Amino acid sequence: MDYIADLHIHSPYSRATSRESTLTGLASWARIKGINVIGTGDFTHPGWFRNLSEELTPAEPGLFRLKNEAAATSPLDGCMGDSTPVRFLLSAEISSIYKRHGIVRKVHNLLYVPDFESAGRINSRLARIGNIVSDGRPILGLDSRDLLEILLEEAPEGFLVPAHIWTPWFSLFGSRSGFDSIEECFGDLSDRIFALETGLSSDPAMNRLISGLDRFALISNSDCHSPSNLGREVNLFSTGLDFFSLRDAIRGNRRDTFRGTVEFFPEEGKYHFDGHRACGVCLDPDETRRLELCCPVCRKPVTVGVHHRVMELADREQPLFGDAAPQVFSLIPLPEVLADITGMGPASKRVMRCYAEAIRRFGSEFAVLMHAPLEEIASHSAVLAEAVGRMRSGRVIRRPGFDGKYGEIRVFADGELDRLGLSGSVFGEKHANLRLKRT
């Protein structure tokens, strides 16, 4: 079966997470997006674990569905989206802060298990180590290697994936907190790691510049804190719809079962370039080195971003992909595409009306972004077809993110729509009334 999976999300029990990130809220948005499998996130939190136990029922092996699927009503004025099933996979993220080799390490790791019994045993072990109640993503003084050992002991069928591995502050290779190799982090258990999460600020091409990562599958997920942000990045599978087939497809890392990933353009990630947000300074790695890692405005150290850190560890000039490597697709979320067309904010009422109309006409967000023929899109909206065509071919305008500030990816330059004669309708709305409002 071909399906889409977003395996890293958060519940309302995590800090800075929307109250709408309930199981029904997540399932509702998954249908709008066209996503079939969602990580539950946060199974280590007692409150969320209780919600999961009460609201989910077993479906396929290692996957779960809502007991009351009818409760997952549409968030878009009756527009239900894709009718394919929505399944949940038990997942959690642990923030490990500990000292190794005299340096404080801050690493986030993702846990995946096939059943509540395994999750419960892990929770019992972690509760004896630290506080798992205060946050859905608990902060524990637990070495990443030891966390992996606990997972292997309590959930032998489960697996661990280092999360957003390049994020400066909290990741395996983070410039402010990480290691230089998998082996340095996980020691004698390194061979039990078979996948890495690339994060929003990097993509597979960047990671394939490093020969030490060749043996690892690269997965991509949204890490969303609001259900409307599901699917910012996802994984594409062509395998059995069950936990074990999904796990083995990732481990096998072959295009016939793990078809590929859908990525942000990495410049949109909020740590892609170096910089100092307080001073509004964004730097590429060459500039940063010339400035000796200091902000040119205040002379304080800049935050070294993902691109810089990848280049530090890279031992290739060009990425190396095997013949059977999963494919990579770089996309822009549909509300951002519509915002670029209309000149309005992605969450504005006008953009959301256009978004809902696109879902009604094409079935889901991923149907619009990836599958609908451009001729079919053009029959409804010439300007949307032009935008989607540019995005699919990578013809986009990129402004990199830095030091916690998201970058910007656009398909049209200022005034370009009028110059190209694309000031027609977007599902009935005239561009004449939607002049671009940009600085």
Mean pLDDT score, 104-125:
98
Mean pLDDT score, 428-437:
41
Of 425 and 233, more confident: 233
Q: Band of the pLDDT at 431, cuts 50, 70, 90?
A: very low
- The pLDDT of residue 341 is above 70: yes
- The pLDDT of residue 433 is above 60: no
DSSP run (H or E) holding 237: strand 234-238
pLDDT digits (tens, 9 = 90+) for 84-99: 789 999 999 999 999 9
- The pLDDT of residue 74 is above 90: no
pLDDT given at position 81: 74
Question: Six-digit token pair at 253?
Answer: 């890392």
pLDDT given at position 425: 62
Of 412 and 72, more confident: 412
- The pLDDT of residue 437 is above 50: no
The CA distance from 430 to 224, in Å, is 33
> Domain ranges in the chain?
2-267, 333-433
pLDDT given at position 429: 58
Residue 222 has, within 13 A of its CA and on its CB side, a CA count of 28
The CA distance from 141 to 8, in Å, is 22
In this structure, of 23-37, 74-88, 270-284, 336-350, the range with the lowest mean pLDDT score is: 74-88
Number of residues that this document lists for the chain: 439
Of 151 and 418, more confident: 151
* CATH topology assigned to domain 2-267: TIM Barrel (3.20.20)
- The pLDDT of residue 68 is above 50: yes
Provide, rounded to the nearest whole percent, the portion of the chain with pLDDT above 90: 90
pLDDT given at position 325: 98
Q: Round the average pLDDT of the chain to a whole number and report it.
A: 94
Q: Which residues contact 413 (CB under 8 A, 6 or more apart)?
A: 397
What are the residues facing 139 on neighbouring strands? 95
pLDDT digits (tens, 9 = 90+) for 32-64: 999 999 999 999 999 999 999 999 999 999 999
* DSSP string computed for 331-394: ---HHHHHHHHHSS-TTSHHHHHHHHHHHHHHSSHHIIIIIS-HHHHHHH-HHHHHHHHHHHTT
User: Phi/psi at 208 (nearest 5 deg)?
Assistant: -80, 10
Give how far Cα 13 sits from Cα of 42, 43, 151, 305, Å.
Answer: 8, 10, 22, 29
pLDDT digits (tens, 9 = 90+) for 380-417: 999 999 999 999 999 999 999 999 999 999 999 988 98
pLDDT digits (tens, 9 = 90+) for 228-255: 999 999 999 999 999 999 999 999 999 9
- What SS3 state is found at 35? coil
Q: How many H helices and E strands in the chain?
A: 15, 19
Of 418 and 395, more confident: 395
